[in-house]
Amino acid sequence: MTIILGIESSCDETGVGIVRLGPDGAVDLLADEVASSVEQHVRFGGVVPEVASRAHLEAMVPTVRRAVEVAGLTLSDVDAIAVTCGPGLAGALLVGVSAAKAYALSLGVPLYGVNHLAGHVAADTLEHGALPSPTLALLVSGGHSQLLRVDDLAGGITEIGSTIDDAAGEAYDKVARVIGLPYPGGPPIDKAAQRGNCSAIAFPRGLTGPRDAKYDFSFSGLKTAVARWVEARERDGGEVPIDDVAASFQEAVADVLTAKAVRAATDLGIGTMVISGGVAANSRIKQLAAERCAAAGITLRVPRPRLCTDNGAMIAALGAHLVAAGVKPSALDLTTDPALPVATTSV
């Protein structure tokens, strides 16, 4: 039995998770503690990197202590440390990696520097068990929108498509600002959209023309189209129907994401799809993905919202897969890489 502690600090959440890896390879979640600095970023309408770094510094040790306590363990029970070393905000990553090195060195346990994006995929194994090989992952968060082919979580992830401009969550956050909803924009838009008419306004579906890249995304044109539509309505002195704008925008995002993901899975002959990242908490994306996957004979897996947004449990889970696969730990001079490619699962 192996206890793995995972540390996540790539954006504005200080996450510490603890999992237990059983002799049969089963991974059980023992603790999942998150301290978010999101409130400190609200008035800026986006994450301020230096504010996030400072918040990680203050939250790191207390969050580790809480996780160990919730798991009913002591630090000396920990057998390995996993930490996000990229991609993400440089200063924020540095806090997590420095803490992880200090814990690994003082406890005399191996250290695994891991990829945040692979962590998002690994999150689903905590809820639905091992992933079939291959699995198609749709990763949608504030910083990323990617289609990944996952042959092996411990080091067999290939990018097959990504956004050429804004990430899906970024589009939500920017559109929320345009229609006067708070940051982060995903949850309030999701809520407003449930009251609105999703076919009220025909917003564009980026990169869906016959000559466009089949598996890539673009949300910048959609964001601009929403802004122009709202400006035009305000110029005419009309009231902006926030719920209808939210619903129509959300429909455009959900339509493109799910259509491209199902097409990729079908083209590549992949029978299982995982959706993860903060935007996977979206009600319409989940609903449309369920309908389209069912129609295409694809098994859909979406972890619960708590595991979709940034957390330390997903990093601990990925660490457990690396330990189980016998992957070599990282050196203690492990560095952060804000632009770590998704194909690099561990460093």
Residue ranges in contact with ligand KG4 by CB under 6 A: 11, 141-143, 169, 172-173, 184-187, 190, 277-279, 281-282, 309-310
Helix %, strand %, coil % for the chain, to 5?
45, 20, 35
| Residue pair 242/179 in contact by the 8 Å Cβ criterion | yes
- Least distance between ligand KG4 and beta carbon 52 (Å): 11
For residue 239, the SS3 value is coil
- Least distance between ligand KG4 and beta carbon 310 (Å): 4
> Facing residues of 36 across strands?
13
201 versus 279: smaller Cβ distance to ligand KG4: 279
Q: Is 345 in the site for Zn ion (CB under 5 A)?
A: no
- Least distance between ligand KG4 and beta carbon 141 (Å): 3
Element (H, E) at 275: strand 272-276
281 versus 340: smaller Cβ distance to ligand KG4: 281
13 versus 109: smaller Cβ distance to ligand KG4: 13
Stretch that binds Zn ion, among 60-68, 73-81, 140-148, 336-344 (CB under 5 A): 140-148
41 versus 321: smaller Cβ distance to ligand KG4: 41
Token couple for 269:
């002959």
| Residue pair 324/125 in contact by the 8 Å Cβ criterion | no
d(CA 335, CA 15): 19
d(CA 150, CA 158): 7
| Residue pair 247/190 in contact by the 8 Å Cβ criterion | no
41 versus 205: smaller Cβ distance to Zn ion: 41
Q: Is 9 in the site for Zn ion (CB under 5 A)?
A: no
| Residue pair 15/8 in contact by the 8 Å Cβ criterion | yes
d(CA 231, CA 161): 32
- Least distance between Zn ion and beta carbon 307 (Å): 11
Q: Is 311 in the site for Zn ion (CB under 5 A)?
A: no
User: Which residues have C-beta within 8 Å of that of residue 328, sequence separation ≥ 6?
Assistant: none
| Position among 166, 173, 310, 337 found at the interface with Zn ion (CB under 5 A) | 310
Identify whether 184 is preceded by a cis peptide bond (ω within 30 of 0).
Answer: yes
| Residue pair 219/81 in contact by the 8 Å Cβ criterion | no
- Least distance between ligand KG4 and beta carbon 113 (Å): 18
Q: Is 14 in the site for Zn ion (CB under 5 A)?
A: no
For residue 82, the SS3 value is strand
Residue 142's binding partner among ligand KG4, Zn ion, none (Cβ under 5 to 8 angstroms by kind) is: ligand KG4
- Least distance between Zn ion and beta carbon 144 (Å): 7
Residue 84's binding partner among Zn ion, ligand KG4, none (Cβ under 5 to 8 angstroms by kind) is: none
8 versus 244: smaller Cβ distance to Zn ion: 8
Q: Is 141 in the site for Zn ion (CB under 5 A)?
A: yes
34 versus 273: smaller Cβ distance to ligand KG4: 34
135 versus 141: smaller Cβ distance to ligand KG4: 141
**Interface residues for Zn ion in 22-51 (CB under 5 A)?**
none
For residue 207, the SS3 value is coil
What residue ranges bind Zn ion (CB under 5 A)? 141, 310
